[in-house]
Amino acid sequence: MAERVCVIVNPAAGRGRGARALDDVRTAFGAEGITDIRITEAKEGERAVATRAIDEGATTLVAVGGDGTWSNVANAVLAAGAGDAVRLALVAAGTGNDFAKTVGAPASDVAATARLVVEGTDTRVDVGRVEDHFFLNISGFGFDIAVLEDISSIPWLTGDAVYLVSALRQLVGYGGVDIDITSPARRRGAVRHLMLVVANARNFGGAFRIAPDASLTDGALDAISIHDASTLRRLKLFGSATKGTHVALDEVVTEQAASFIVRFGAPPAYETDGEYRQARTADLEIACVPGALRIVAAGPGSTHP
């Protein structure tokens, strides 16, 4: 059966990069006979557009944006129970575009993605879940949230640079957060953290290889606990994380498990794939959902620009 393809464009992605990509998207997908292109009009509007497309029979959704856009479309697919029937393809027009770096999607090449959609190649990947949100890439707590809140005050930068500048500013000013992490193997007890990242994929924040051992097909998530430290040690952690060597430092504890319980003194703010969330409770379960999603890609672990 031929795929029914719907392309969903978030024009606000990447501070307008999504809008600027629209002509290239129309040209590349039009060359493959794909003309159903829909543009979102509201924040996180991708989910509603994707749900409508699924209801109308779409079997491949192409998400044009960044990690947040891709995640919102994936959430629509999974909430509809359509993980077997509907594939997700990625076109990069966001800020970090991190998930594509792990999954092996040629997301920065619109024409290559359009051809791949028609050829029908896809791979199954795990996703993570916290509360009622699925995530493709990571869920983050602590420093990560301080950076997200700061990014909105830096309107003159785009791409990886905005993450780097904001992260450097928060390295000096952020006070840390107490987190108690429990896995099936152990309970660590409350420890002052600079940040906690529970990762499905390897990359984060554009420039950071936060979970170098993460796999999208192992049925597990990687918890990267970075304990609080002095400003000088924070700078070392920050620099090391761009290469993935931070995991060898004394302040970093890593663990792989199918699920984690994280406990806070009060319901925390957190993020999933760059989208800001406010938890309903102080205790949260973060779990892997194995093989939940089909991604149009060359295969897990491949590298594309």
CATH of the domain at 277: 2.60.200.40
Q: Give the chain's length.
A: 305
On whether both 72 and 92 belong to a single domain, the answer is yes
pLDDT tens digit string along 27-75? 999 999 999 999 998 877 899 999 999 999 999 999 999 999 999 999 9
Half-sphere exposure of 44 (CA within 13 A, CB side): 11
Residue ending a domain, among 78, 106, 127, is 127
| CA–CA dist 22, 115 (Å, integer) | 17
Residue ending a domain, among 127, 159, 182, is 127
SS3 assignment for 125-143: EEEEEECCEEECCEEEEEH
Q: How many domains does the chain fold into?
A: 2
Residue 4 has pLDDT above 90, yes or no: yes
Please enumerate in sequence order all residues whose Cβ is within 8 A of that of 124, keeping only pairs 6 or more positions apart, or say none: 217, 291, 292, 293, 294, 295
Q: What pLDDT is stored for residue 302 in this prediction?
A: 42
On whether both 256 and 139 belong to a single domain, the answer is yes
Q: What pLDDT is stored for residue 128 in this prediction?
A: 98
Residue 304 has pLDDT above 50, yes or no: no
pLDDT tens digit string along 200-253? 999 988 889 999 999 999 999 999 999 999 999 999 998 999 999 999 999 999
Residue 133 has pLDDT above 50, yes or no: yes
pLDDT tens digit string along 145-186? 888 788 777 776 666 677 778 878 888 889 999 999 999 988
On whether both 87 and 21 belong to a single domain, the answer is yes
Note the pTM of the prediction, 2 decimals: 0.91
Residue 299 has pLDDT above 80, yes or no: no
Q: What domain range is 158 assigned to?
A: 135-290
Domain membership flag for residue 283: yes
On whether both 86 and 203 belong to a single domain, the answer is no
Residue 16 or residue 82, greater confidence: 82
